[in-house]
């Protein structure tokens, strides 16, 4: 093979890499526009990540800082149902969900005299509307309105040492995660929260505690957190399941495409040299174009179809182009080499980007196996004769 042909082939691969860079930039721009525009639309309809704070009460006394003595619930029983309902907008899936929250709290007057307790229940900030809202303290009629500042309040006179129940319920929607937070490091007693989720892939946000009980069935998980008497109780939370976002996946596949092409071209050129099949830089050009067709099709099909369906169509088209072309160039021999090589270097390697953590090990294994195969095939080859024969054939 002529040195000029090698250099020209390398230049063609380099130009293809530039084309992939341009395609990656286009995908990045489309993803950014989709993220910026659609995220605002989704948040406007579904709300942000919701945080429900633990309620409290206070009574006025000159013996407390600021003239207010804070009282936390002596008993709390909350139930939460989270239903993941992801919505797709553009190239991205948004992890939206519906939440049904119900809780019964008990507040006790800790003093030996009657006190007016001012109950406070903070509502999730910026929620997408509260449906079926209930707030009831003691025997008073339930309130279905919230304060303008997002905190529902009620004042009730509680006899010395007596307890008053507080009931809260609502339904709303959010995005990404749901949290139940304890606002300070004081002691939490008699607390229990039971959560039902309709998905199998559970993940707890950083800084939250693990459940004390968990049970899985076909419909999801039943989880429970119990704090009978805990100082500095950790928050409770749940992240919505991770979803396969086509934009970031397509971008990663495109950015690593030169590795796939480099492996494939190296294998084809070495096999062709060993079998004395004359290859020209124009052959490398059309092979590179066939590889690029895969990424171009996949990048724009994901706007319309499921990512896996888009991947399958792009793979079939690229395989037909490249393997079919090499069959016409080098006969059945190159065809039998091209099909498995393309399935490994293009399809398998690209498919690894669909699964977190598999790309690196896939690249490492494929690289080592390719090196081993080529070393075995070429161990006894006299490369001077091979290149001289190629030059005479040219």
pLDDT at 78: 96
**How far apart (Å, rounded) are the C-alpha atoms in residues 7 and 391?**
15
Residues in Cβ contact with 189 at an 8 Å cutoff, skipping those fewer than 6 apart: 72, 74, 75, 227, 228, 229, 230
- Among 15-19, 145-149, 195-199, 248-252, the minimum mean pLDDT is found in 145-149
Distances (CA, A) of 38 to 24, 34, 98, 99, 125: 20, 6, 19, 22, 21
Comparing 63 with 384, the larger pLDDT belongs to 63
pLDDT at 295: 92
Share of the chain above pLDDT 70, in %: 90
Say whether pLDDT at 163 is over 80. yes
Ranked by mean pLDDT, the top range of 86-100, 233-247, 349-363, 375-389 is 233-247
Please compute, for residue 4, the number of CA atoms within 13 A of its CA located in the half-sphere on the CB side: 2
CB–CB of 166/158 below 8 Å?
A: no
**How far apart (Å, rounded) are the C-alpha atoms in residues 345 and 349?**
6
The pair of structure tokens assigned to 279 is 């290859």
CB–CB of 128/172 below 8 Å?
A: yes
pLDDT at 148: 60
pLDDT at 2: 64
Distances (CA, A) of 164 to 110, 133, 156, 214, 369: 12, 20, 9, 31, 71
C-alpha 308 chain-centroid distance: 16
- Among 87-96, 208-217, 219-228, the minimum mean pLDDT is found in 87-96
Per DSSP bridges, beta strands 96-108 and 163-175 are antiparallel
Question: Between vectors from CA 374 to CA 371 and to CA 378, what angle results, nearest 5°?
Answer: 140
Taking alpha carbons only, the member of 166, 194, 163 closest to residue 105 is 166
Phi, psi of 35 (to 5 degrees): -65, -50
The pair of structure tokens assigned to 233 is 């109780």
C-alpha 103 chain-centroid distance: 30
Residue 87 belongs to what H/E stretch? Answer: strand 87-89
CB–CB of 247/92 below 8 Å?
A: yes
**How far apart (Å, rounded) are the C-alpha atoms in residues 380 and 376?**
8
pLDDT at 45: 66
**How far apart (Å, rounded) are the C-alpha atoms in residues 306 and 312?**
10
Q: What is the pLDDT of residues 279-316, one digit of tens each?
A: 888 988 999 999 999 999 998 888 788 888 999 999 99
**How far apart (Å, rounded) are the C-alpha atoms in residues 51 and 180?**
6
**How far apart (Å, rounded) are the C-alpha atoms in residues 123 and 52?**
6
Q: What is the pLDDT of residues 53-62, one digit of tens each?
A: 999 999 998 8
The pair of structure tokens assigned to 34 is 């989709």
DSSP string of 315-345, one letter each residue:
HHHHHHHHHHHHHHHHHHHHHHHHHHHHIII
Phi, psi of 281 (to 5 degrees): -55, -30
Q: How many CB atoms lie within 10 A of CB 272?
A: 21
**How far apart (Å, rounded) are the C-alpha atoms in residues 152 and 58?**
14
Bridge partners, residue 50, by sequence? 178
Average pLDDT over residues 195-214: 92
Taking alpha carbons only, the member of 296, 316, 311, 289 closest to residue 254 is 296
pLDDT at 33: 66
CB–CB of 262/249 below 8 Å?
A: no
Question: For 177-207, b where at least 16 C-beta lie within 10 A, e where not — what string?
Answer: bbbbbbeeeeebbbbbbbbebebeebebeee
Residue 5 belongs to what H/E stretch? Answer: helix 3-46
Domain 47-239 -> CATH class? mainly beta
Average pLDDT over residues 183-206: 90
C-alpha 80 chain-centroid distance: 23
pLDDT at 226: 95
Domain residue ranges of the chain, discontinuous segments joined by +: 3-33+245-393, 47-239
């Amino acid at each position: 093979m002529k040195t000029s042909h090698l250099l020209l082939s390398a230049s063609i691969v380099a130009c293809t890499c530039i084309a992939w860079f341009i395609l990656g930039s286009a995908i990045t721009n489309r993803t950014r526009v989709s993220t910026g525009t659609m995220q605002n639309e989704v948040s406007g309809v579904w709300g942000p990540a919701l945080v429900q704070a633990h309620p409290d009460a206070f009574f006025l006394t000159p013996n407390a800082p600021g003239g207010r003595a804070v009282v936390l619930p002596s008993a709390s029983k909350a139930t939460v149902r989270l239903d993941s309902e992801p919505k797709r907008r553009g190239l991205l899936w948004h992890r939206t969900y519906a939440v049904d929250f119900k809780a019964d709290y008990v507040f006790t007057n800790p003093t030996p005299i009657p006190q007016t307790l001012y109950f406070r229940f903070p509502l999730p900030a910026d929620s997408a509307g509260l449906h079926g809202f209930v707030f009831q303290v003691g025997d008073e009629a339930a309130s279905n309105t919230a304060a303008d500042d997002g905190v529902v309040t009620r004042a009730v006179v509680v006899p010395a040492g007596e307890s008053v129940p507080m009931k809260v319920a609502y339904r709303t929607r959010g995005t990404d995660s749901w949290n139940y937070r304890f606002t300070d490091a004081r002691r939490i007693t008699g607390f229990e929260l039971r959560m039902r989720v309709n998905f199998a892939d559970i993940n707890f946000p950083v800084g939250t505690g693990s459940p004390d009980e968990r049970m899985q069935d076909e419909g999801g998980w039943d989880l429970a957190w119990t704090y009978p008497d805990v100082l500095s109780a950790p928050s409770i939370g749940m992240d919505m399941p991770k979803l396969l976002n086509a934009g970031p996946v397509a971008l990663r596949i495109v950015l690593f495409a030169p590795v796939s092409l480099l492996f494939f071209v190296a294998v084809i050129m070495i096999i062709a040299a060993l079998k004395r099949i004359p290859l020209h830089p124009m052959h490398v050009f059309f092979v590179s174009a066939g590889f690029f067709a895969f990424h171009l099709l996949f990048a724009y099909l994901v706007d319309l179809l499921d990512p896996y369906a888009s991947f399958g169509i792009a793979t079939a088209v690229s395989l037909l182009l490249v393997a079919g072309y090499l069959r016409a160039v080098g006969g059945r021999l190159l065809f039998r080499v091209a099909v498995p090589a393309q399935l490994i270097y293009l399809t398998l390697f690209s498919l690894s980007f669909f699964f977190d953590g598999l790309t690196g090990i896939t690249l490492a294994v494929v690289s080592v196996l390719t090196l081993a195969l080529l070393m075995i095939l070429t161990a006894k080859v006299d490369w001077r004769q091979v290149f001289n024969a190629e030059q005479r054939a040219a």
